[in-house]
């Protein structure tokens, strides 16, 4: 189980690194826009991401 968790975390790092590597200027602009997003909207986006991720895991397994 721990090995699969480690692999999953490594893949997350690789996937999250693709956009800043390929488009650093656009990435920086997006991060600056995210600084203006309210805490409530950020929480909703994070919650929806967790729900979608959990649902996809359920479908895969």
Q: What is the pLDDT of residues 8-60, one digit of tens each?
A: 999 999 999 999 999 999 999 999 999 999 999 999 999 999 999 899 888 98
1 pLDDT above the threshold of 90: no
Question: In a 3-state reduction of DSSP, which class is residue 61?
Answer: coil
The number of distinct structural domains making up the chain is 1
Where in the sequence is the domain holding 44, given as residue range(s)? Answer: 2-60
pTM, entire model: 0.68
Here the tokens at position 25 are 């200027």
CA distance readout (Å), 13 to 8, 37, 38: 9, 23, 25
Here the tokens at position 22 are 């390929």
Backbone phi, then psi, for 36, in 5-degree steps? -90, -5
């Amino acid at each position: 189980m721990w090995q699969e968790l480690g692999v999953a975390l490594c893949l997350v790092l690789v996937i999250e690194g693709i956009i800043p590597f390929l488009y650093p200027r656009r990435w920086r602009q997006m991060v600056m826009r995210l600084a203006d997003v309210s805490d409530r909207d950020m929480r909703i986006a994070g919650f929806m991401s967790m729900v979608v991720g959990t649902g996809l895991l359920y479908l895969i397994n």
